[in-house]
Chain A
């Protein structure tokens, strides 16, 4: 209503005037809006008549007699007051909070644990690949040496890429690699744990959401007096 186009106030449309008549009638228009409306009413007989019709209709409603009371509604006894908050609300709220906390913990675990495993794996590879590199290179010449054959036993579990290298370098080291594999966190086990964490995470998140919604519903019904 206070829009100015190129420094000139826009003319009120009839539809806008008709929508403002009711709040104007109730004295709920701001001073600027009221002045513009009154200016329009001075020059528009149609809108003025509409205002008068609204006054007339409102007056008719105000003069309607009250409905006859069929009986007395006073209470004959004191009904038991309802306790401040319903029981299910607190239980649902607590359960929702626990589920939400579990969700956060699982989310953090699923985000951090793979990084920890990766660091552990890297450090193992770094530590054990030093002796392995000369072993791999020198393997063809010392394939029959018992002392040299022991080196791949230590190197093999470090990580998957190391085992093929040892196998290529030393034919007798090949069967050693699988035997030593359980020492580190294998990729397959890590993936299953991750997927388990993800499943638990989704479950906890869904539970938190559902319980939260249930608690909100109970609270809302209680607030609006059911």
Chain B
């Protein structure tokens, strides 16, 4: 059975068929929730809640990318959680970013790292912190594009934004992350360090303006 068949059967109330969809997408869904929330328990709750909601609202799925539709639900739950954190800032994300400490890595041990770039754990942690410094809208766009490998159209569905907004958020997010990595280029592989050294100053100006524009823009 393919994904369309599972969706069709799930609409009829077949939980086993829906669980095939869960198995297919649960890693990506939890990965997105965890990278946005940086809290394993909260990310697990959000992911479980999103799958429950997806099953009960499956009649609203109008075709296209099921992954993008599912991620829309995950992101709704993520933003709900972030808003709740802002109202009750007992353990906010900002604290983690401000202390410049790398977050605890939740890496799948069984997953071998690609051969062409073997990242040190310190660099991986630094990239995660760099992601966390971005505004949520930019962060999620960058995660969906460069980590999850989604197209602009899928990102637009998942985030509820227009294609133009996706394009501009991605541009700003990449500029922001590039500027952050430029400040920690000693951790980068030597072959890539060169690019960050040459463009550090220019990128810093651009990313600062981009983040300002994102925060003060309409």
Q: Which of these, A18, A74, A78, A224, contacts B22 with CB under 8 Å?
A: A74
Interface contact B202-A61, CB-CB below 8 Å: no
Say whether chain B's binding surface is mostly helix, strand, loop, or mixed: helix
**1/0 contact trace for B122-133 toward A, CB 8 Å?**
011001100000
> With A46-B199, A73-B51, A75-B52 in contact, do A63 and B119 touch (Cβ < 8 Å)?
yes
Interface contact A57-B15, CB-CB below 8 Å: no
**1/0 contact trace for A76-118 toward B, CB 8 Å?**
0111111010000000000000000000000000000000000
Chain B residues with CB under 8 Å of A75's CB are: 15, 18-19, 22, 51-52, 55
Closest A residue to B48 using CB positions: A73
Interface contact B108-A224, CB-CB below 8 Å: no
| Most chain B Cβ neighbours within 10 Å, of A15, A22, A54 | A22
> With A14-B202, A46-B198, A224-B76 in contact, do A69 and B26 touch (Cβ < 8 Å)?
yes
Interface contact B59-A81, CB-CB below 8 Å: yes
Complex-state Cα separation, A21 to B113, whole angstroms: 28
Interface contact A62-B147, CB-CB below 8 Å: yes
Closest B residue to A56 using CB positions: B192
Complex-state Cα separation, A52 to B136, whole angstroms: 25
Could you say which of B82-90, B92-100, B168-176 contacts chain A?
B168-176
Complex-state Cα separation, A48 to B55, whole angstroms: 47
- B158 part of interface (Cβ distance < 8 Å): no
- B1 part of interface (Cβ distance < 8 Å): no
Complex-state Cα separation, A26 to B107, whole angstroms: 27
**1/0 contact trace for B42-71 toward A, CB 8 Å?**
001001100111011111100000000000
Closest A residue to B146 using CB positions: A61
Question: Least Cβ distance of A161 to chain B in Å?
Answer: 60
Question: Least Cβ distance of B104 to chain A in Å?
Answer: 11
Question: Least Cβ distance of A7 to chain B in Å?
Answer: 30
- A191 part of interface (Cβ distance < 8 Å): no
Complex-state Cα separation, A50 to B144, whole angstroms: 22
> With A63-B117, A69-B30, A70-B30 in contact, do A53 and B22 touch (Cβ < 8 Å)?
no
Chain B residues with CB under 8 Å of A80's CB are: 56
Chain A residues with CB under 8 Å of B35's CB are: 67
Closest B residue to A74 using CB positions: B19
> With A46-B202, A58-B174, A67-B31 in contact, do A225 and B73 touch (Cβ < 8 Å)?
yes
Give residues in A with beta carbon < 8 Å to B: 14-15, 18-19, 21-23, 25-26, 28, 45-46, 49-50, 52-54, 56-75, 77-82, 84, 223-226
18 further interface pairs, Cβ-Cβ under 8 Å (given A26-B152, A74-B19) = A46-B199, A49-B198, A49-B199, A53-B196, A56-B188, A57-B181, A60-B119, A62-B149, A66-B111, A68-B107, A68-B109, A74-B26, A78-B13, A78-B55, A79-B56, A80-B56, A82-B57, A225-B57
Give residues in B with beta carbon < 8 Å to A: 13, 15, 18-19, 22-23, 26-31, 34-35, 40, 44, 47-48, 51-53, 55-60, 72-73, 76, 106-109, 111, 113-114, 116-117, 119, 123-124, 127-128, 142, 145-147, 149, 152, 160, 167-168, 170-171, 174-175, 177-178, 181-182, 188, 192, 195-196, 198-199, 202-203, 206, 209
